A and B are shown apart, each in its own frame.
Chain A
Amino acid sequence: MAGADGDDSLYPIAVLIDELRNEDVQLRLNSIKKLSTIALALGVERTRTELLPFLTDTIYDEDEVLLALAEQLGNFTMLVGGPEYVHCLLPPLESLATVEETVVRDKAVESLRKISHEHSPVDLEVHFEPLVKRLASGDWFTSRTSACGLFSVCYPRVSSTVKAEIRQHFRTLCSDDTPMVRRAAASKLGEFAKVLELDYVKSDIISLFTALASDEQDSVRLLAVEACVSIATLLPQEDLETLVMPTLRQAAEDKSWRVRYMVADKFSELQKAVGPEITKNDLVPAFQNLLKDCEAEVRAAAANKVKEFCENLPEDSKETIIMSHILPCVKELVSDTNQHVKSALASVIMGLSTILGKDNTVEHLLPLFLAQLKDECPEVRLNIISNLDCVNEVIGIRQLSQSLLPAIVELAEDAKWRVRLAIIEYMPLLAGQLGVEFFDEKLNSLCMAWLVDHVYAIREAATCNLMKLVEKFGAEWAQNTIIPKVLGMANDPNYLHRMTTLFCINSLSEACGQEITTKQMLPVILKMSNDQVANVRFNVAKSLQKIGPVLDSNTLQTEVKPVLEKLATDQDMDVKYFAQEAVSVLALA
């Protein structure tokens, strides 16, 4: 590593360390964030012998500084001289992995995991594994929690004796005195199981899993549900029934709603992990119960999974199970007392139509869609409308149009602009499916009304919507239906509306083509260059720049250029700026 050593005379360590000690936290933080620069200035040798010991000794600082330090050290391998010296980074990271603040500890663990891969197998046993052991037997819970995240990275690469020790440590932490450590262990159980040999999964992991899944604290039990997915994936099918299912059944009926919520939330993963047979026998009834749970949280989580669950059912019995077991529960959820449950259902229910086919959809699902379209809660209706494309593939949305319209009109005027925004985004899709006649008759006026909405985001989305409609229905349609209205707004007393005209022109000119742009739009823009509001004038300049490419060079020279030149001498500096920019972009100078 020639040339990588520091220059003593230029940067004595004391000066650099002073920077890391600055009284001002912000300055200290900045210095720590540039720790790699300091290390580079010192060179690998002195980074190892002077900088790192200093960092290890002074770990009592603001958590924000420590967080930055923990992150930096994860990328320090080259700065201490490459993989053969990477173990030098362990002492400071070890201290950081024991601090109180969770984000700092987590970052330290992340960095430790990262550099663990850079250790040779020998270094891993000599330096890394002892660190894990020390953390695992630390006095305070913080170090033991950190240890939980490190077992799985060193286990695969150590000798069998050390492996046995690691397993033992993990076992101990799973029955730790403090729930914080048990939670950490439970959350890493699945990850650890993945690196273990199958025999040990059966002998060790299962008993730990069972114990954690019946912990006295629900916060621990629910984490075991997550591990259940990984564990079930690892085991051969014939062992699942005896090793995993009793615990899973128990979790699905846990007395704490948090645990049941977790089961519902992980249902698709669980379904995949246990396979079709167990799904048919066990998960279907369990899922029914979750859909009928007494706690709305749980029902909502389960409702969210309805489509995925049905999709992944075994082919041979898919339809029977859905029709006889799932659909009755779904019907009840449509009139649930809780809006979040209904809204969760509405976001997936349309997906069932592709699974069940046309006849079943018309007979069984359509009434549910219609009921949800009339729901009192806008979110429910919106979720239905947002997923119309699924049902369109199966039966077409004409079937729905009668109920659709009132729902759309109401959402289009909803008090929350995010709801209005969402419905605007579905307009092009609806227009395509409903056809131009229906659209002109029922929806066109809505689209125009959005142009004068009092929220900018809505006006902007409405503009973009018009462009997409023109792309669908063609320039002629645009010329007849929307352009007159858009151009009419150029005379509106409100300057915001006048600007909307310009924004519409910006997005429509390309779709409408040269003729319409030159003949109808351009005169309006040019006229607006005399507007008394500067914002309108500089937007005229921007619009001219935007539509320039659509116009022919003669028009540019004779009509656009004089106006831009005039604007370039405007008294307002912004108007001047944008006019000059337009001139140079359009190469009119």
Chain B
Amino acid sequence: METTKLPPSSPSSPTTGFSVPSAEKVDGFPRRSMRRARQRRSHSSSQFRYQSSQVELTPLPLLKDVPVAELHDLFCKKLQQCCVLFDFLDCVADLKGKEIKRAALNELVEGVATSRGVLIEPLYPEAIKMISVNIFRTLPPSENPEFDPEEDEPTLEASWPHLQLVYEFFLRFLESPDFQPSMAKRYLDQKFVLQLLELFDSEDPREREYLKTILHRVYGKLLGLRAYIRKQINNIFLRFIYETEHFNGVAELLEILGSIINGFALPLKSEHKQFLVRVLIPLHTARSLSIFHAQLAYCVVQFMEKDATVTEYIIRGLLKYWPKTCTQKEVMFLGEMEEILDVIEPSQFLRVQEPLFRQIAACISSSHFQVAERALYFWNNEYILSLIEENCQVILPLVFATLYRVSKEHWNQTIVSLIYNVLKTFMEMNSKLFDDLTASYKVEKQKEVKRERERVELWRGLDELQERRVQSLQEATLNQRNLLECPAPSQLDPVPTQPDLTCPDPAQPDPAPCSTSAT
């Protein structure tokens, strides 16, 4: 039981079967910690797939031992040799062959990194072919369908001993002073890039780290691919946001984008603005936001620093996607908002201050003290404080009622004292306005209650009206139908034309509950 079984893999049957020692059968529920303990660091590989006949490798002479005239030929042969793939799930299979390939890869890395003049044109297709054969593969199904990148150990790529060297070779190849983009672009084409991007979904962080650096180099050197790369990253993000909610490499891709955004020319092209509004901002809705929030916030602030006119899109976007139930995410949003306000231009601030401070007021009244606290910290930020002061006339009325109310009823003492400080700051800023608001607080409250009563009244009236109308409408429908006598031939299926008018009244109380209390 302990060692023989592969971990479960199928999302279709997610319950994992294992038995716990009977001593731990307390309530029949497996402890999460027990599951943890059982989860060994697992390996997986989908690399060794469709090679039916295994080729026997024979060691070639060392690169440094051959005359310069034969160097390229040998280099080429080594590249071809490295196209053979090995089974790493069976760790004792073909050890000799694995060693030969490892040594060859090491030599290739060394060769491309140190010797000058190795990279001649005929080597490009061979090198790219070797890289493609080794790294491009359909990633295996995740062994843990509920994989939580923050909690669970990632599945590591079993063939890493070779794969790492291949990535290393690729990186050195791109960074070599001899590297000629004009030659490479014939082989490093769009299809290649697309496959490279798909690998970012790898669960193995080591692989993603290499991919990040490599993609960055490719973006830097092959200008013709830039637009394509950006577009494909967009597609990956959009699929992540709206379709699968799963992609392991979001943080890495964002990191690359951070530096790409930095290099955007001004004025921003509409393509880039669209990327901000339709991709980056909606990325905030992801459930796994915490994994890539730092990189995402960096990208967003980069955009603002490039072009202040996008500020309004950003802030309104964040407000639209503001978390409703997840307080952890709310704290992240507040953190990002502070970063944004840190660099906001006063003219832009004017455009968003009302919805923004309405949201901040809502955060202050959160019963989760971390949310409230994070929002109140805004008043410790000197720049933000100066903005508030300049616009005190607008902001104070927006937040006053909340501050006043929460200061009286929040359960957490820290929050209460923070609020007193904020109220004090406001008092000092504009004591006249403060006094007015304090005086009118009760009146406003009463007005609110009155409005609420009117609302209830309005809906009661509407509901009554509905009841009366449903009757007459039904009759009218019936008459009309009789009159027309089944008109269109295409109405094959009788469409239920009666709209859903009889919604149950949610105000109806439940039938008397029977309490069950143990004594």
Contact = CB atoms under 8 A, between A and B. Distances in A.
A100 B488 CA distance: 35
A415 B49 CA distance: 38
Contacts of A573: 515
A168 interface: no
Given A297-B10, A338-B9, A534-B519, A100 B476 contact: no
Given A297-B141, A415-B28, A340 B501 contact: no
Which of B12, B461, B470, B515 has the most chain A CB within a 10 Å cutoff? B12
B497 A78 contact: yes
A78 B499 contact: yes
Interface in A373-406: 376-380
B518 A534 contact: yes
Interface string A1-45: 111100100110001000100010001000001101110110000
A384 B191 CA distance: 47
A78 B469 CA distance: 12
Contacts of A378: 17, 19
B56 to A, nearest CB: 22
A3 B500 CA distance: 19
A69 B190 CA distance: 42
A301 B519 CA distance: 52
B490 A379 contact: no
Interface stretch (A252-260, A462-470, A556-564): A252-260
B278 interface: yes
Interface stretch (B77-85, B116-124, B238-246, B250-258): B238-246
B490 A157 contact: yes
A404 B335 CA distance: 60
A569 interface: no
Interface string A398-422: 0000000000000001111110100
Interface residues of B, number: 71
A386 B308 CA distance: 66
B116 to A, nearest CB: 37
Contact of A420 (B19, B28, B480): B28
Given A41-B465, A340-B12, A117 B499 contact: no
Given A40-B465, A78-B499, A534-B517, A296 B6 contact: yes
Contacts of B22: 413, 415
A418 to B, nearest CB: 8
B503 A297 contact: no
B12 A417 contact: no
B282 A118 contact: no
A200 interface: no
A439 interface: no
Nearest to A577: B514
A532 to B, nearest CB: 8
A378 B466 CA distance: 57
B519 A535 contact: yes
A205 to B, nearest CB: 23
B475 to A, nearest CB: 9
A62 interface: yes
B6 A10 contact: no
A343 B28 contact: no
Nearest to A455: B28
Contacts of A578: 514
Contact of B49 (A121, A255, A416): A255
B17 A377 contact: yes
Nearest to B512: A577
Interface string A343-386: 11000000000000000000000000000000011111000000
Contacts of A100: 242, 278, 282
B498 interface: yes
Interface string A53-97: 000000000100000000000011111001100000000000000
B490 A36 contact: no
Given A34-B503, A339-B8, A378-B17, A257 B138 contact: yes
Given A40-B466, A454-B28, A117 B495 contact: yes
Contacts of B358: 23
Interface string B456-486: 0011011101100110110011001000000
Interface string B1-39: 100011011111101010110101111111000000000
Given A140-B278, A455-B27, A300 B497 contact: no
Contact of B499 (A7, A19, A36, A416): A36
B368 interface: no
B104 to A, nearest CB: 26
B242 A180 contact: yes
Contact of B515 (A4, A216, A218, A574): A574
A300 B13 contact: yes
Contact of A415 (B1, B6, B25, B141): B25
A70 to B, nearest CB: 14
Contacts of A120: 487-488
Contact of A574 (B6, B462, B466, B514): B514
B462 A38 contact: yes
16 contacts: A11-B465, A15-B458, A36-B501, A82-B480, A100-B278, A178-B235, A179-B239, A183-B243, A338-B9, A343-B13, A344-B10, A413-B22, A415-B22, A415-B30, A416-B29, A578-B514
Given A297-B11, A340-B8, A534-B517, 15 more contacts: A1-B480, A2-B476, A3-B476, A38-B462, A40-B473, A62-B320, A82-B480, A120-B487, A219-B239, A258-B138, A297-B10, A338-B10, A377-B5, A415-B28, A416-B28
Interface of A: 1-4, 7, 10-11, 15, 19, 23, 27, 33-34, 36-38, 40-41, 62, 75-79, 82-83, 100-102, 114, 117-118, 120-121, 140-141, 156-157, 178-180, 183, 216, 218-219, 255-258, 294-297, 300-301, 337-341, 343-344, 376-380, 413-418, 420, 454-455, 458, 533-535, 538, 572-574, 577-578
